[in-house]
Structure 1
Amino acid sequence: MSMLKSLAGGAVLFLALAGGLRAEVTVSHSNNPAAAAEQGLLSLMFNEKNALSGVTSSRVAALTKAPKSKSKKVNSDQLACLSQVLYHEARGEGRKGQKAVAEVVLNRVDDPAFPDTVCGVVYQSNRRGCQFSWTCDGKSDKIREEGAYARVSEVARNMLLGEERSLTDGATYFHTPAVKPSWSRKFTRTAKIGAHIFYSAPSRRTATK
């Protein structure tokens, strides 16, 4: 039997099986290898159809259902606030320097002496002024460097998702070397990273994550 005829015969039988018709497949006693292979293929197709017919609709739905996404989400407001402070305070720093500033903000969130949200920490003010000067200096806070903002936003997102805080040893304050605030003499210096020096208040040091 030619290959073309074999394929045609197999297609006809497959269509018959798909339509629900019953067919008895017998084992060929021919010594023709091609004929034996054809019989084996048809038998396999018949058995496969019978096996599939036993699968329940609920099982099919379970097998074809897309898996649930395991990606974590962050609060969009908190992400925006952390991205803003990284942009205004550390956009010129490398990733390590930006992450260190993010640690300070998140360490403050964990410290009872500060507000318990990122936005609360960033925009906290008191009679002495603002914690971060850019939040109350009267100047526009408009983002003008989109590329820099995208980079700090990635750092902010990773930190909010739980990236390890291992750079500043629980620091809750920082300043640039260009200034020397009076409080820096009373606090414990924990690190110098990039253009910032980091400190923690001795009376309320927080554990790093």
Structure 2
Amino acid sequence: MRSKFKNVLSVVFITFIILAIPHGADAASYKAQKGDSFWLIANKFNVTLANLQIANNRTGYLLYAGEIINVPNSVSDENKKLMAKLVHAEAKGEPYAGKVAVATVVLNRVDHKDFPNSIRGVIYENVKGHYAFSPVENGAINEGYHAEDMQAVNEAIAYKGQGSQSLYFYNPKTAQSDWISSRETTVTIGNHRFAK
């Protein structure tokens, strides 16, 4: 019961944070035409209906001609699955908000000049013989994922470009690098500290 309350509280907290931030420039804008629907627009831009609704803070299907719709960038199913596997391996046992934040770190790195410019490139980045993410190094990324992990990935994609621009995350209790603790902390969620 207590953990359910914490999970609900985490979701409410991250939803409040995300909704308080204006929609980012990474979403394309589309002017709805007569006869358009969220479903048609989602298919036209190859994004999920859920992500399109999340990006526009909508739960229903009502749409008006002339309305400006934010269209999140699309991500292939293969890359979503890879991200969900990383989220599962890195954030197992963490609150849902922490899972979204881990997926967001991957997307932020793709957009940052200091990292590879693809999801696969970011996840499998190898610097001086070591992978950027320990689950890639130890093989835990191959263990699969759960529905909640994929949901977190979809939410991160829908809100891409918003938030604290975190590029790193670590557990301060287990981190072995002094360098990582020197980074500017953006938020702490569960056992993970996020930084840029």
Q: TM-score with structure 1 length normalisation?
A: 0.55
1:161 aligns with 2:158: yes
Pair 1:141-2:136 in alignment? no
Distance 1:140 1:172 in 2: 19
Q: Report if aligned partners of 2:91, 2:102 keep a CA contact under 8 Å in 1.
A: yes
Instruction: Give per-residue Cα distances to partners, 1:111-157, cap 9 Å, x unaligned.
Output: 011011111111111214111111122567222xx6xx111101112
Identity %: 26
Alpha carbons 2:169, 2:194 under 8 Å: kept: yes
- In the alignment, what sits opposite 1:84? 85
The equivalent of 1:109 in structure 2 is: 110
SS for the counterpart of 2:143 is: coil
Alignment of 1:23-172 (within 5 A): 69-71=40-42, 72-73=47-48, 74-138=75-139, 141-143=142-144, 149-162=146-159, 165-166=162-163, 169-172=164-167
The residue type equivalent to 1:69 in the other structure is: L
Q: Conserved in 2, the CA contact under 8 Å of 1:105 and 1:121? A: yes
Deviation at 1:158, TM superposition (A): 2.4
CA distance in 1, matches of 2:129, 2:138: 13
- SS in structure 2 at match of 1:141: helix
**Number of residue pairs matched by the alignment:** 130
Largest Rg, 1 or 2: 1
Amino acid at match of 2:148: R
Give the equivalent residue in structure 1 for 2:57. Answer: none
- The letter of the residue matching 2:40 is S
The one of the two structures with greater contact order (alpha-carbon pairs below 8 A, sep at least 6) is: 2
Task: Please state whether the residue corresponding to 2:187 is helix, strand or coil.
Answer: strand
Q: Matches of residues 167-186 of structure 1 in structure 2 within 5 Å?
A: 169-180=164-175, 181-186=177-182
Unaligned residue ranges in structure 1 (runs of 5+): 1-64, 201-209
Structure 2 counterpart of 1:27: none
TM (norm. structure 2) is 0.58
Preserved contact between residue 78 and residue 117 of structure 1 (Cα < 8 Å): no
Query: What is the rounded CA distance, in whole Å, between the counterparts of 2:114 and 2:97 in structure 1?
Result: 26
- For 2:134 and 2:128, the matched residues in 1 are separated by 13
Unaligned 5+ segments in structure 2 are 1-34, 49-74
CA RMSD of aligned residues (A): 2.4
